[in-house]
Amino acid sequence: MKVLVVGSGGREHALCLAASRSPLCSELFCAPGNAGIADLAKCVAIKAEDIEGLVAFVQRKAIDFVVVGPEASLVLGLVDRLEAIGVPAFGPSQAAAELEGSKGFMKDICKKYSIPTAAYERFTDLEKARAYLQKQGAPIVVKTDGLAAGKGVTVAMTLDEALNAVEDALSGRAFGDAGTEVVIEEFMEGEEASFFILSDGENILPLVTAQDHKRAYDNDEGPNTGGMGCYSPAPVMTDALIETTLERIVKPTIEGMKAEGKPYRGVLYAGLMLTSEGPKLVEYNVRFGDPECQALCLRAKSDLLAVLHASAKGDLSRSSMEWLDDSALLVVMAAKGYPGSYEKNTVIRGLDKAAGCEGVTVFHAGTAANEQGEVLATGGRVLGITALGADIKTAQDRAYAAVDRLDWPEGFCRRDIGWREIARQEER
């Protein structure tokens, strides 16, 4: 079948790699794609948010199946538009995508269906939000209600930091329309982990666990980002914790969304806090995480495209997935200055040397090729250097060996991806 992957990041590069390996895929397109994706698919200059343009392309090229990568496209209703013209698409409907599109909606679902999460309140009025913060104190968490490209969350360790976050959001200066409402949550103590499942609206297919690193710098310091690296599996997510997460968090959500008249189809990414009281939901993403998707795709032994298609068609009951025993670890190479301002269109060299390292795959996120064929850095998070290994430490060593072969003075990375699990292994 002819397949279109929508998006331009590392997640979409990984999904294109998985699709290209599937015997179901006869022709592969990506809109808009990037310099790395161009080696796997025919890139089409249509932005992921251009719903009309994407629908027209699907009709013109007689695309058989669409895999939607980014959350913005889902929140804008791309899946609904494609299904209206008879083309199956992987991802939730616009109504179901509100689980990520509105943090307030997600929290309300948790409250209604007794899903464990942090206590919270929603605010549109700046003075009321300030008064609440003064009463609650710090540490406390402030989130924009809408999509803010992974940057709308402030884990405030001081009251001043929380007050500034609320003012930046509700004043409209920092996040525009995404910040017209904020969710203020209690601060949860614990370790974070990620868990992925597929659903067809009724059935649930568990995938794998992962652990992301959100802070920009080593030792979990600096501002929050879209993710500076990850590893999979996350051994901290034991079989018992996975079962608890499925029973207390995931299944009530899928059942609740069906009861709300918004059946959930697609991948559901549960961001968890492993507290002393058990796992609690931090957030839902209605698409594969980036960078977690890259690690997941490298560990997949089964045909991932086939199960994505089954999810879209509402027929996951007979589907299963097998995974490599190997661990995968990804290091994000970002432009210096990220998540703030950074220089664009700098040249990245040494990509072939990095990709030649044992067990390594280089995923492109924010890249483009110039007329000379050079690869340019066009985004904040630019590359995902991903390695497979028998354990996390082996994968880490391989990933950083590849990082060291890159020639990109304008880039930086964290040097401690995987540190929690490696420390645990060394203790054992």
CA distance 166 to 182: 7
SS3 (DSSP) at 210: strand
CA distance 297 to 372: 31
Q: State the average pLDDT over residues 300-325.
A: 96
Could you tell me what percent of the chain has a pLDDT over 70?
A: 97
Q: State the average pLDDT over residues 289-318.
A: 96
Residue pair 104/144 in contact by the 8 Å Cβ criterion = no
Domain at 191-312, CATH from 3.40.50.10540, 3.30.420.40, 3.90.1150.10, 3.30.470.20: 3.30.470.20
Q: Give bridge partners of residue 210 from the DSSP assignment.
A: 194
Residue pair 224/192 in contact by the 8 Å Cβ criterion = no
**CB neighbour burial string for 332-369, b if at least 16 within 10 angstroms, e if fewer:** bbbbeebbeebeeebebeebeebeebebbbbbbbbbbe
pLDDT for res 392: 96
Task: Single out the residue of 406, 298, 413, 417 nearest to residue 354, CA to CA.
Answer: 406
Phi, psi dihedrals of residue 212, rounded to the nearest 5°: -100, 160
CATH of the domain spanning 327-427: 3.90.600.10
Domain at 125-180, CATH from 3.40.50.300, 3.30.1490.20, 3.30.1200.10, 3.40.47.10: 3.30.1490.20
Q: What is the pLDDT of residues 219-245, one digit of tens each?
A: 999 988 889 999 999 999 999 999 999
Does 344 have pLDDT greater than 90? yes
DSSP code for 376: E
Grade residue 420 by pLDDT with cuts at 50, 70 and 90: confident
CA distance 233 to 329: 9
Q: State the average pLDDT over residues 7-12.
A: 98
Same topology between domain 2-91 and domain 327-427: no
**Domain spans, the chain:** 2-91, 125-180, 191-312, 327-427
For 126, the enclosing helix (H) or strand (E) is helix 126-136
Q: What is the pLDDT of residues 353-378, one digit of tens each?
A: 999 999 999 999 999 999 999 999 99
List the strands of the sheet with 153-156, edge to edge: 120-123, 182-186, 140-144, 153-156
- Residue 36 one-letter amino acid: G
pLDDT for res 329: 98
pLDDT for res 179: 62
Task: Single out the residue of 343, 337, 362 nearest to residue 352, CA to CA.
Answer: 362
This prediction has a pTM of 0.93
**Residue 283 tokens, joined:** 């957030």
DSSP 246-272: IIIIIHHHHHHHHHTT---EEEEEEEE
Task: Single out the residue of 75, 67, 49 nearest to residue 12, CA to CA.
Answer: 67
CA distance 415 to 405: 14
Strands (E), 244-402: 265-275, 278-285, 327-335, 346-348, 360-364, 367-369, 375-377, 381-389
CA distance 6 to 29: 9
CATH of the domain spanning 2-91: 3.40.50.20
Does 178 have pLDDT greater than 70? no
CA distance 376 to 425: 38
Task: Single out the residue of 162, 142, 159 nearest to residue 151, CA to CA.
Answer: 142
Pairing type for strands 27-32 and 2-7 reads: parallel
pLDDT for res 148: 64
